[in-house]
Amino acid sequence: MLKVCILTETYHPVIGGGETQARLLAEGLVARGASVIVVTRRSDPALPRHECYGDVAVHRLWPPGRGQLKKWGLLLSAGPALLRLRGQYDIVFVSGFRIAGLAALVVARLLGKAVVLKADSQGEMSGAFFEAGLARAKVPGFAELFRTFLKLRNAALRRADAFVAITPEIAAEYATAGIPGSSVRMVPNGVDTSRFEPLDAQSRAELRTRLGIDEAARVAVYTGRLVSYKGLPTLLRAWPDVLRAVPDARLLLLGEGGLDIHNCEQQLREQVKQEGLGDSVTFVGAVSDVSPWLQVADVFVFPTENDAFPSSLVEAMACGLAVVTTPIGAIPTVVQAGETGLMVSPADSNGLAEALTRVFTDSGLSSRLGAAARQAALGKYSAAATTSRYLDLFQAVLQAPDGGKPRSAA
């Protein structure tokens, strides 16, 4: 039996793209007969230290609670946990290795286990991901000290058995860091296309009623963290222009600022208040299942300015929604401009307003884009296909020679 440990900074019920991908993989592997444990941080003290979601055992580590610096505690707590649980896995898969990857690599090498690293965001290997935090650091010499740590960390991480790239840009980042192409596997993020699917007209109308949404409203929805680099301040600047053209337009923002250093939730709420947009913009908050909100919407808006592979975009496409987004990261490979969605330049509030107005007022365009988006999600990004790719990768890594001895998932 294949025995896998997924190590990730945060996990279900925490809401986010990386968390969703880790959960889908864990459940997909179990469905294929593998044994899976998850090791993560106890980001909410209300969550138990140990619990099971179906057949997936979750172990939550110190330090508990919110706070940017607490994430770094995984450097100290992940190692002992992996040592304690060593009999329950043959391979460690690190989803988002920016912090926990080093601890996984050290323990895996000590125990003779395999380790696979995946970057959930651009800049995890190069260090660009940390630039905003470094800019805020006021401690003299801290930035230089961190860059030295980064070089040492990367030297260790290069010894991992394999790397997963969810975008060509991340694959290029690995190459720049000296990781050979033979160690890199391209695996895009996946989506549960049986849960994220369009509804018929009657079911959609009934769901709108249950969610308290006017059947006549034109609804745009955003799902994800409420952070500045997702382009949300730009979206709210564009929204008054949309309302002038489409008075019954409504904007639903699903998510919260969370632990991200770019949290702008309070700024957005102030922006809505100052612009008098309270009647047309709703902060839904964090929800455990975004699929119903996508299924009642008319368009998915995702004006991101910095992303690798946004899972929320594929979820919306699977629900048959026309999307309005930006050509950032892997998005141009996911959304075909004019075919499965509309593309606007980052931070272009005028272009964003025009694109949203166009989708709201042209039902033929909206239907055509949404139908094509659904087919693209089915063909390229199903969770089942993603799980198969990971199974192939894990089995190949475990069968590769290691010090003259083959690894096995016995």
Expressed in angstroms, the distance from the first to the final Cα of the chain is: 6
Is the pLDDT score of 403 beyond 60?
A: no
Average pLDDT of the segment spanning 158-178: 95
pLDDT band at 409 (very low <50, low <70, confident <90, very high): very low
Assess whether the region 3-190+383-406 and the region 201-380 belong to the same CATH fold.
Answer: yes
Query: 381 or 14, which is more confident?
Result: 381
Total residues belonging to the chain: 410
Is the pLDDT score of 274 beyond 50?
A: yes
Cβ distance 270 to 292 under 8 Å?
no
The H or E element spanning position 116 is: strand 114-118
pTM over the 0.85 mark: no
pLDDT band at 231 (very low <50, low <70, confident <90, very high): very high
Give pLDDT, residue 295.
98
Average pLDDT of the segment spanning 334-338: 95
Give how far Cα 362 sits from Cα of 25, 299, 367, 391, Å.
38, 12, 9, 43
pLDDT band at 265 (very low <50, low <70, confident <90, very high): very high
How far apart are the C-alpha atoms of 56 and 37, rounded to whole Å? 6
- Tell me which fold the domain 201-380 belongs to: Rossmann fold (3.40.50)
Average pLDDT of the segment spanning 150-169: 94
Note the pLDDT tens digit of each residue in 6-65: 999 999 998 778 898 999 999 999 999 999 999 999 999 999 999 999 999 999 999 999
pLDDT band at 308 (very low <50, low <70, confident <90, very high): confident
pLDDT band at 66 (very low <50, low <70, confident <90, very high): confident
Average pLDDT of the segment spanning 201-228: 96
Average pLDDT of the segment spanning 397-406: 67
* Share above pLDDT 90 across residues of the chain, in percent, rounded to a whole number: 83
Give pLDDT, residue 402.
63
Class of domain 3-190+383-406: alpha beta
Residue bearing tokens 């034109």? 218
Give pLDDT, residue 401.
79
Q: Where are the domains of the chain?
A: 3-190+383-406, 201-380
Cβ distance 26 to 34 under 8 Å?
no
* Share above pLDDT 70 across residues of the chain, in percent, rounded to a whole number: 96
> Across-strand partners of 38?
6, 58
Give pLDDT, residue 410.
33
Cβ distance 94 to 83 under 8 Å?
no
Is the pLDDT score of 339 beyond 70?
A: yes
